[in-house]
Chain A
Amino acid sequence: MIEIKNLHAAVNGKEILKGINLKVNAGEVHAIMGPNGSGKSTLAQVLAGHPAYEVTEGTVTFEGKDLLDMEPEKRAQAGVFLAFQYPVEIAGVSNSYFLKAGLNEIRKSRGEEELDSMQFLKLLKEKMKIVEMDSSFINRPVNEGFSGGEKKRNEILQMAVLEPKLAILDETDSGLDIDALKTVSAGVNKLKSPANATIVVTHYQRLLNYIVPDFVHVLVDGRIVKSGRKELALELEANGYEIIKDEINALQTA
């Protein structure tokens, strides 16, 4: 589905990603772990097309197309979704207007008919059940005054409505208590299918108890230094990033 080759990216002239290689197939869940500042979130933002990051080298192919050549909205229309670590608050504009605008653009790009307000509302209410969100959120301004947990639920609701092929979850567990974590994870799991893929970016193993990855990659200083199956996440949890000390040392002396 997505193939990242030798990806380098910089922000304000400072190189953060230093040659990422990653291939994700449909039906797979990949976890990207790593210490703070390793470039996990940068990778997520670069894939979604954040304008602050400059790709200096490498390629990203999404379903055969050059992802890096596309504007953020075109990437969304192609089926890429980023669940933000810090969702943006937008006063005055209702959740439903915002989501309808996005969904209809995506439908248009696929040659599908746009949904009218009634059709959209019906769909939205169905999707809200997945993340156990109260219907009062339909007409509330986007994320304004939402608690941390409500914002993250709202991200997964957006994912449920937009039905992406590739979902990238950026630190979706941060700021969540255990109940909210369970609800959000259950939502993500319900949306999983053999046709779509998920990249979970997280600092802690905790989330991976609920969203079980097929593959785990450890990112250090802008490079993937170790990859493995889900057991790798448990090892990291038990022993910390100590177990990849050799790989880190190798990077630093290189």
Chain B
Amino acid sequence: MERTKKMSDINHYVKEFQVFEQNGASKTPAWVHDVRKNAFTVFTEHGFPTTKEEDWRFTNITPISKTQFKYASDKLRSNVSVEMFKSFLIDGVQQHVVAVVDGHFSKELTSLLPLPNGVVISSLAEAMVNHAELVKEHLAQYVKMNHNAFTALNSAFIKDGVFVYIPKGAEVTEPIHLLFVSTSAGADQYIANIRNLIIADEGARANFLSSFRSANENKNLTNAVTEIVAKKESSIVFVKVQKESDTTYHYENLHAHQYEQSNVELFSLALGSSIARNDIGIIIDGEAAECNLNGLYIPTGKQLIDHHTLMHHIHPNCPSHELFKGILSDNSHAVFNGKVYVEPEAQKTDSKQTNRNLLLSETATINTKPELEIFADDVKCTHGAAVGGMNQQSVFYLKSRGVSDETSRGILIVGFAAEVTEKISHPAIRHHIDLLVVDHLQTKLGHTNLPEIVHAH
């Protein structure tokens, strides 16, 4: 029965896949076809997950599995107005803008500043041809497809997205803004299988903002996979904003593979979509590498926002810090599952994980679960999860200064959010995130005149 149901869900994609492979056959290297076919087999074998699977227990994706999302060909896309596109950018800051519209790289909307020698920022489709060896070496080498239907489906439709290569010792000073816009609207619902590959070679440094936005109210599915490779002594800041319209569906498998003495900082700001699932995995595959993973989710209405994180320590002497905060209102639902896996060789691991949730309504739901699997004996691993309402002592402090009850609550919600956005080390990107957070709280939670966020550092 279960199997039959799943088959009817995937039959649609069998046809889509055949058409996709026929249409693009001539332009795509043979090895990519192999990746696609293999991935599609995995997808058809497993189908979409149900809540019977442990990793999806609290996240019911039936609205996604029951919908026959069409492949959004690049001819379909509607125009994004220049003004709207500009409103998505980091205001007042020089940035490299890499635009992807409905899953297709947009040359017209992409604008790069002068880059250091050897740095490549291009579409993945182009890179498969122009940087074939590099792409072949890394593409689809890091994320796991088994038991992950979305990643398998994405890999079956690998075609386009963003490719970034930063060569040995190079530093890109301006933020690299990856901007994914969903535009197709109408009777049909579309899927954008976005595939990104970012390679920071030895000692390379760069800061990324990855924005997922909608040009209109649509019911599309964004299905993204982003693989980041941080080689020895490289340093990467990667901040994600998910602010697609509340009617969309969103999945991303964001994966970083770190080598010795590399430093990766990831942040996930999750505001949009009807159902959004973020799988964020970091493999720390080298000694003395550091990872900081933080995030903030603010679901409202009936939104469901899920973060599943994995911090996998393989080698000794690596610190990892993780803080996720949630602000839940109305009938919203959030899921946080934080797995920390420490292999026997990973002695002196210093890992800290915290999840704090502010529940603003009695009908909001949070499922939070730390999952520690530690096989080394000389480690420092801590975790903590908290769910609660407004801190009464703080409310009292503000009110004792004459501040009204409503303003006090607004101030404290902003303060709660600021405690995690302050972890973003890049000042301009952090400011951009702060503005989005305050704007979201004002428009979605109905707070007026909220303060602009300031930070101590």
Q: Using a CB–CB distance below 8 Å, which chain A residues touch chain B?
A: 48-52, 71-73, 75-77, 81-82, 84, 87-88, 90-94, 97-99, 101-103, 105-106, 109, 139-141, 144-145, 158, 162
Contact = CB atoms under 8 A, between A and B. Distances in A.
Given A92-B453, A140-B454, A72 B399 contact: yes
A31 to B, nearest CB: 21
Interface stretch (B39-47, B146-154, B221-229, B416-424): B416-424
A145 to B, nearest CB: 5
A93 B401 contact: no
Given A92-B414, A93-B411, A162 B401 contact: yes
Contacts of A141: 415, 418, 454-456
A88 B411 contact: no
Closest 5 CB pairs of A and B: A92-B418, A102-B401, A76-B402, A72-B399, A88-B397
B402 A102 contact: yes
A73 B455 contact: no
A73 B392 contact: no
A91 B422 contact: yes
Given A88-B393, A109-B402, 13 more contacts: A51-B392, A71-B405, A72-B399, A73-B399, A76-B400, A82-B400, A88-B391, A91-B455, A92-B415, A92-B417, A92-B418, A92-B434, A98-B398
B216 interface: no
A131 to B, nearest CB: 16
B404 A98 contact: no
15 contacts: A72-B399, A73-B402, A73-B408, A88-B393, A90-B415, A91-B415, A92-B415, A92-B417, A92-B419, A92-B454, A94-B452, A98-B398, A101-B401, A101-B407, A158-B401
Would you call the interface of chain B mostly helix, strand, loop, or mixed? helix
Contacts of A91: 415-416, 418-419, 422, 455-456
Interface of B: 391-394, 396-405, 407-408, 411-412, 414-419, 421-422, 434, 451-456
Contacts of B415: 90-93, 141
Nearest to A86: B393
Contacts of B452: 94, 97
A241 to B, nearest CB: 29
Given A48-B400, A76-B399, A145-B456, A98 B405 contact: no
B67 to A, nearest CB: 39
Nearest to B419: A91
A93 B414 contact: yes
A92 B325 CA distance: 14
Contacts of A82: 400
Given A93-B411, A101-B403, A88 B422 contact: no
Nearest to B417: A92
Nearest to B421: A92
Contacts of A81: 400
B424 to A, nearest CB: 12
Q: Most B CB atoms within 10 A — which of A49, A99, A141?
A: A141
Contacts of A51: 392, 396
Given A87-B397, A144-B456, A94 B402 contact: no
Contacts of A71: 399, 405
B393 A93 contact: no
B454 A105 contact: no
B402 A103 contact: yes
A73 B454 contact: no
B395 to A, nearest CB: 8
A82 B402 CA distance: 11
Contact of A101 (B397, B411, B417, B418): B411
B428 to A, nearest CB: 17
Given A90-B394, A101-B407, A140 B400 contact: no
Given A93-B418, A98-B411, A88 B402 contact: no
A198 to B, nearest CB: 16
A105 B404 CA distance: 7
Contacts of B412: 90
Contacts of A49: 396, 399-400
Nearest to B391: A88
Contacts of A162: 401-402
